[in-house]
Amino acid sequence: MDNQRLFLFLLFCFSTFFLFQAWQKEKQVVVSPPPVSAIPSPAASAAKPAAFTQTQAVPGEGSVEKGETVRVETDFFVAEIDTDGGTLSRLELRKHRDTLNKDKNFPLFERQPQHIYVAQSGLLGVRLPDHHAHYTAAALDYKLEAGADHVTVRLTAPNTGAWGIVKTFTFHRASYVIDVGYEVENKTGAAAQANAYFQFVRDGKPPAGSPAMGAGATFTGAAVYTEKEKFHKISFTDVDKGKANYPKTSNDGWIALLQHYFLSAWLPSGNVSREFYVRRLDGDLYSIGVIIPLGSISPGQQATLTVPLYAGPQEQDKLAALAPGLDLTVDYGWLTIIAAPLFWLLRWLHQWVGNWGGAIIVLTVIIKALFYPLSAASYHSMARMRVLAPRLQKLKEHYADDRQRLNQAMMELYRTEKINPLGGCLPILVQIPVFIALYWVLLASVELRHAPFMLWIDDLSAPDPYYLLPALMGATMIIQTMLNPKPPDPVQASVMKIMPVVFSIFFFFFPAGLVLYWLVNNVLSILQQWYINRTLERAGLARKP
């Protein structure tokens, strides 16, 4: 295959890849959230705990008024809890910067007119408080004190004479896990059944600042995991169409809400019956949650239930330690089998180099070394083609009016010189899966979010703000073109000249880390190809016809 055909093939591959992403983005539902006062009721069930049958809606309610705000500060969080319903209405991650303003903390949960994403919970049963009930707090400001391992917020529900309810939030030091629990005392004269629900309510918009070449590829939606049926992703589009497919009931598993780099998940523990639900609510919102039984509570007895809430970055090793399958929320696409080892190696290199950009450069050298025997053979083939270019041009002139004889003469020359015209494209073809896998690694790994390299590159997961790396990469492609055999056809030669420009424009929208990988790879390829060309030319490979 001639090099111009190779570049056309690569252009077709990349175009198909990103057109598919654009199609995915087009299919995503983008909705405008309603006013904060109109958050609707959750999906919930009053079925018997031992045998869930169907998730039913809580009876309709009026508008939700905002209560007092309880503020909690820890080493990882700045949280706000609304006493109306005990809703976790805002959660800032202190270890991560905001996507659009790096001077601010990243807000995972927030309740604003333009965006709604909150964590709610409530109880289901006669005269039990749901997520609209008004609670009272002993204080409005809590802080994790020096030397303390945790801080707990206790919210007390109104005493109706039937139940004594306390809702608790326990924040732990150096942890993205918040324990959300209930203490339920039955003050009635008879045994009563009670269930608890834990849910997220969110609009369907993708996160602010989604990358230009990644918004269609990154996933915003729900996920459910059980040991039996494993991992299920649930898009908002499937929910709208009634095509959401996931396990509804189980004795294990968790439910999560995913977005680019971050997730929140309810992680019920133990072998306890649970019912998962994902549905669209009025006002273009979605509820994603789980229902868990407290069981039958005898008169004068108390029941307790605590469900861990994870709200933080998609750090694979930490997620895997929290719950089975939780690390699957980091999605590297269909090339996970290549991307996962690449990320492991990249993270290991970062531990030694101390800079993610430096780790990418070292990774590129390692990949180049692994493919060296294959690429060396291919570059030898390309060098031979370059040396034979004058003889091929003479054959073209000699058989200018006979295309069939020209092709026969060229094939005979290839056989005589033992050259495979397809060999020159092999190094790049082999690298395409690695290239795409690394694209997913840089796109999905939160460890590379806002990771600086040097000089003007302050975020390897975002495009180069000044397009200097893509321009340098385009320059290396021009040099590679000069080292390759010159196409005998003028049209093909013109195509080869514009291909570096076309690819540079493509790379304007790629993460800087990926462009860095390709740039270093090109430099190494140029050095290798130049050395092979010089060696063969010195050996006097060229023969006069």
Q: What is the pLDDT of residues 217-262, one digit of tens each?
A: 578 999 999 999 999 999 999 998 888 899 899 999 999 999 989 9
In angstroms, the CA 531 to CA 288 distance is 59
Class of 31-205+262-315 in CATH: mainly beta
User: Is a pLDDT exceeding 60 seen at residue 9?
Assistant: no
Q: Check residue 283 and give left, alpha or beta (phi > 0: left; psi -120 to 50: alpha).
A: left
Query: Structure pTM?
Result: 0.79
The whole-number pLDDT of residue 217 equals 59
pLDDT tens-digit map of 423-469: 555 666 777 788 788 878 888 888 888 888 888 888 888 888 888 88
Residue 18 burial (10 A CB sphere; 0-12, 13-18, 19+): middle
Residue whose entry in the numeric block shows the structure tokens 């009635």 = 188
Going by pLDDT thresholds of 50, 70 and 90, the confidence category of residue 486 is low
Is residue 266 predicted with pLDDT exceeding 90?
Answer: yes
Note the pLDDT of residue 222.
Answer: 94
Residue span(s) of the chain under CATH 2.70.98.90 come to 31-205+262-315
| pLDDT confidence of residue 489 | 55
| ∠ Cα 212 34 39 (to 5°) | 120
CA dist., res. 340 & res. 316, Å (int)? 10
How far is 454 from 225, CA to CA, in rounded Å?
40
pLDDT tens per residue, range 168-219: 999 999 999 999 999 998 888 788 888 999 999 999 888 876 655 544 457 8
Q: Which of 384, 397, 330, 342 is nearest to 367 (CA)?
A: 342
**For residue range 327-357, what is the model confidence (pLDDT) as tens digits?**
999 888 778 888 889 999 999 999 999 899 9
| Cβ neighbours of 27 (radius 10 Å) | 10
The pLDDT, as a whole number, for residue 451 is: 87
Where does the pLDDT of residue 139 fall: very low under 50, low under 70, confident under 90, or very high at 90 and above? very high
Confidence of residue 542 (pLDDT cuts 50, 70, 90): very low
